Amino acid sequence: MLLPILITLFSQFQGLNGQAVNDVDANGITLLEKIEEMERQILNPFTLVSVVTPCGVNFNDNQNRGQQTSAEWVRIIFHDSITANIAGPGLGGLDASIGFESDRPENVGIFVNVTLGQFSQFSSVFLSMSDLIGVGLSDSLASCDPTARRIPLRVGRIDATGPGPAGVPGPTDNIEFATAAFAKAGFSQSEMIQAVACGHSLGGVHHTNFPDIVEDPKDASNTDGRAPFDSTPAIFDNTGVNEYLTGTGLKGGPLVVGPEATRSDLRIFASDDNATISAMSSPQSFEDTCFTIFEKMINTVPSAVKLSDPIVPRPWILRESHLDLNSAGAVTFSGTIIGHSSASLPDTASYSYGTSGGNTAPKTSQAGVAYPIVANTPIGFGTITDYNFADTLNNPDVTSINVQSSYSAPINQKIFILVSQGFHNQIRDSNNAITVNQQYVVRAAILISLAPAGTVLSAKLWHTAAQAGSIVPKILSTTVSMTLKTTLGSYAIYQAVVTVGDGVSALPGGTMTFQVTSGATLASAKVDPGNWPACTNDVLTSC
């Protein structure tokens, strides 16, 4: 229930187009939290964008296969969304069901499991795999597009729990089959042409997957035998469209000039006498058309899914923040502020604390640290700078932090997780080969006045778990009771040991998230234990 907390969050976030940001999903996560997590994801140079930058990188290619990560991330959007049935039960679309479909002939190759394996490292309770697939497309195009343009992203997609229908059009399918498949998913004939032309601006066709289309080049630097779609396979541009229209360069690529039975691109492009593809010949028309069609593809979702409004990262937000207690029992609050701008950012960030009587005097952060404008910098948001801060909160009435007079986040001093007292311990198999269990010591502080004798706190951990039939992990939660450990200052300290894993299988990647509650009305902020130190004691609780 946690109604007071949700009302507070809503009042501090009501400026985002009036969305019902206090809507809660099946995991207890609000739309507000998902939006903020998306902002942090795309403003972080060490998340998905680093995997696909620069555009031509073959991130997992240590065998000279000629794979191109950006092209695979574009391809997976098409294969996951095009089997939607919007006129029938409103099922399918971008729902990550493709994770269960990697062995289908229409999904030939390693791209499904490689791509979803990359995305899975960023799985969390806040963003579904299908939301992350959308991030992947946006990051790919921004990395490959000379203008660094970004597709607007939304959140709220729900992952499928099993395979969807088959029916991805392939190279040997006739134009009637392709047209019907696109129509079933809600795309017109011209949109079909646009989607194929845009999707085939990057990458190419591989001999190992389609030996009937591409001959083996017997090239040690291209062992999978990739034949690119156009002369600029690592630039998202209109080159392929114009090479097709003029019969120059690669003339549209292997699905235009290859064996007649596999000329699916030719059949699709020519299905309206080249009218649609001719309208895409200029750089601006190509880009505008492609971003429109790609946005439609990532927003094709099951009818039960309610997506957020398009997300534009705010100029200032918190990357991370947490409450803690020092050795004297005083409350501390620290974290990192993110600022981004195409103009110059200040040397320090200004912030204040909100109380029932108004805001405290302004404070200034530590000197900002800008991410360098190099290959691994998030693209499309100008200069991005982190500002660290750390304060002792001597006023128990502090309830919020206000940054640069434009962003506000709640602070709950009544109950919070003690990150300085959190630890983890990995349990490996008998061969010391894989981690089969992950143990955490979680400790939390609650005001003594709110914890009379007999009070029991609960620690909830959202975590990833293996999912049968798919490389995509599922999100589960484990809740344990916490017991009183000691007191410090005005606070009672509770602790619990939480273990996840089956003791046999390797734990999947992804982000864990803790929250501590007392009853139905008191809940701590959610905390990522990813940076907690390892416990070196044999007895975990003695750490």
Residue 50: beta bridge partners?
Answer: none
What secondary structure does DSSP assign to 204-253, as a single string?
EEETTT-TTTS-----TT-TT-EEESSS-TTS-SSHHHHHHHHT-TTTT-
* Whole-number Å distance between alpha carbons of 228 and 253: 6
Domain extents for the chain? Answer: 23-298, 316-410, 417-542
Residue 89 pLDDT: 79
Nearest residue to 138 (alpha-carbon basis) of 125, 153, 126, 124: 153
Q: 529 in helix, strand or coil?
A: helix
Q: 297 in helix, strand or coil?
A: helix
Residue 139 pLDDT: 94
Structure tokens at 493: 């300290």
* Whole-number Å distance between alpha carbons of 128 and 464: 11
* Whole-number Å distance between alpha carbons of 413 and 324: 9
Structure tokens at 341: 């701008």
**Backbone φ/ψ region at 202: left (φ over 0), alpha (ψ -120 to 50), beta:** beta
CB 66 within 8 A of CB 226: yes
What secondary structure does DSSP assign to 163-203, as a single string?
--------TTS-HHHHHHHHHHTT--HHHHHHHHHHHTTS-
Q: 536 in helix, strand or coil?
A: coil
* Whole-number Å distance between alpha carbons of 246 and 424: 61
Query: 417-542: what CATH class?
Result: mainly beta
* Whole-number Å distance between alpha carbons of 517 and 249: 63
* Whole-number Å distance between alpha carbons of 313 and 537: 43
Residue 7 pLDDT: 33
Distances (CA, A) of 11 to 34, 133, 499: 16, 31, 36
Residue 20 pLDDT: 63
Fold of 23-298: Peroxidase; domain 1 (1.10.520)
- Confidence (pTM): 0.92
What secondary structure does DSSP assign to 66-125, as a single string?
---HHHHHHHHHHHHHTT-BTTTT-B-SSSSGGGG-TTSGGG-SSHHHHHHHHHHTT--S
Structure tokens at 237: 């541009």
What secondary structure does DSSP assign to 22-78, as a single string?
T-B-TTS-BHHHHHHHHHHHHT-TTSHHHHT-STT--TT-SS-----HHHHHHHHHH
Sign for the CA dihedral angle at 311, 291, 58, 207 comes to positive
Nearest residue to 66 (alpha-carbon basis) of 215, 223, 183: 223
* Whole-number Å distance between alpha carbons of 436 and 429: 6
CB within 8 Å of 123: residues ≥ 6 apart = 129, 132, 464, 472, 473, 475, 508, 509, 510, 511
* Whole-number Å distance between alpha carbons of 486 and 482: 12
Residue indicated by tokens 């006129």: 87
H, E, C per residue of 378-412: CCCCCEEEEEEEEEEECCCCCCEEEECCCEEEECC
What secondary structure does DSSP assign to 261-289, as a single string?
GG-HHHHHHGGGTTHHHHTT-SHHHHHHH
* Whole-number Å distance between alpha carbons of 215 and 257: 13
Distances (CA, A) of 337 to 40, 369, 443: 11, 11, 25
* Whole-number Å distance between alpha carbons of 314 and 111: 33
**543 residues of the chain, pLDDT tens digit each:** 333 333 333 334 444 545 666 788 999 999 999 999 999 999 988 889 989 988 988 876 555 667 899 999 999 999 999 999 988 777 889 999 999 999 999 999 888 999 999 999 999 999 999 999 999 999 999 999 988 889 999 999 999 999 999 999 999 999 999 999 999 999 999 999 999 999 999 999 999 899 999 998 777 777 678 899 999 999 999 999 999 999 999 999 999 999 999 999 999 999 999 999 999 999 999 999 999 999 999 999 999 999 999 999 999 999 999 999 999 999 999 999 999 998 899 999 999 999 988 899 999 999 999 886 544 456 788 889 999 999 999 999 999 999 998 999 999 999 999 999 999 998 888 888 888 899 999 999 999 999 999 999 999 999 999 999 999 999 999 999 999 999 999 999 999 999 999 888 888 989 999 999 999 999 999 999 999 999 888 778 788
